Amino acid sequence: MKEPLPNVHVRAEVLVQALPHMQRYDQEIVVIKYGGHAMGDAAAAEDFAEDIVLLEQSGLKPIVVHGGGPQIGRMLGRLGIQSEFKGGLRVTDEATVEVVEMVLAGSINKQIVGWISAEGGRAIGLCGKDGNMVRARKAMRTIIDPDSRTEQSVDLGLVGEPEHVERGVLDAVLKAELIPVLAPVAFGADGQTYNVNADTFAGAIAGSLRAKRLLLLTDVPGVLDKEGKLIPELSVEDCRRLVADGTITGGMIPKIETCIYAIEQGVEAVVILDGKVGHAVLLELFTDYGAGTLIRRS
């Protein structure tokens, strides 16, 4: 049964409005970090997969990097392994890193590949180890003591940060018109497996490929001010100021560090947005309204 003409006209108008955005991103690389918290809703996961397939069909080159913190936490709980967080990052020992790799490079990675495939896309699941795509080094972090307000060094165990990205692996995958789905697990120079924060991993991938956009999908609307209101746009300088004055805290700090790093590596802009909002990726890239917090150099 045909729909009433007014609805058809509205849909046609929406497509026309999306055209200049599609032209802006034609053949451009867009890296999308899909957060573990954003994966919890089945309908939102379906919307996400549809968005990724539509991006690829519209001439963009999407790369998905996924997290899986809640899923890792549940598996660690089932196995009786305690978790500890410092500075928004999970402290990772030998037992924990085995679970991290199993969950990230195994079940979650293939689940996302399956979602995209179900919507007609051609996705391939990889992790940083594959083809020596990402080499990591042990992450060194400092946190601000809440009482003394002084910096303190923290040992995160087998938490790594990207040291080098071999972009040739991703170039080959994109040339084959496949959608890479990447798990943030990587080798160190010594052969040690490292758990890499997914935001940091995505930033390194986006920076190495000079991506047009890096989208960080999470479970919050974006960067919030001290009253809990969304900040629609920030400069790198603004970000540093908000971290220094305590407006940005906890798990948002590594996200902001990723944004700054990616922009300094040549990414045009980064957006932090709520992955649980239906078709959040399309709203950000293909409409005038955008979503979340947009971060630029200045």
Q: Give the Cα separation of 124 and 182 in Å (integer).
A: 8
Residues 124, 186: Cα–Cα separation, whole Å: 17
Of 65, 71, 73, 70, nearest to 34 by C-alpha is: 65
Cα–Cα distance between 214 and 222 in angstroms, integer?
14
Listed in sequence order, the residues at least 6 apart from 101 whose beta carbon sits closer than 8 Å to its beta carbon are: 127, 185, 193, 195
Q: For 164-211, what is each residue's pLDDT tens digit?
A: 999 999 999 999 999 999 999 999 998 999 999 899 999 999 999 999
Report pLDDT for 139: 87
* Count of residues making up the chain: 298
β-strand partners of 182: 65, 126
Query: For position 95, what pLDDT does the model report?
Result: 92
Integer Cα distance of 90 and 221 in angstroms: 23
- Domain limits, the chain: 29-296
CA neighbor of 251 nearest in space, from 297, 218, 229? 218
Quote the radius of gyration of the chain (alpha carbons, Å): 19
Q: Are 59 and 212 in contact (CB under 8 A)?
A: no
List CB contacts of 220: < 8 A, sequence separation 6 or more. 252, 272, 274
What is the pLDDT, as a whole number, of residue 158?
93
Neighbours of 46 (CB within 10 A): 14
CB neighbour list of residue 97: distance below 8 Å, 6 or more residues apart: 157, 158, 193, 194, 195
Q: What is the rounded CA–CA span in Å between residue 198 and residue 182?
A: 9
User: Among the residues of the chain, which ranges form H helices?
Assistant: 5-25, 42-57, 69-78, 94-101, 109-118, 167-175, 198-208, 236-244, 252-264, 280-286
Other Cβ atoms less than 10 A from the Cβ of 11: the count is 11
Report H helices in 67-215: 69-78, 94-101, 109-118, 167-175, 198-208
CATH for the stretch 29-296: 3.40.1160.10
Q: What is the dihedral of CA 98, 103, 109, 110, to 10 degrees?
A: 110
Contact 252, 88 (CB under 8 A): yes
Residues lower than pLDDT 50 in the chain: 1
Strands 134-144 and 151-165 turn out to be: antiparallel
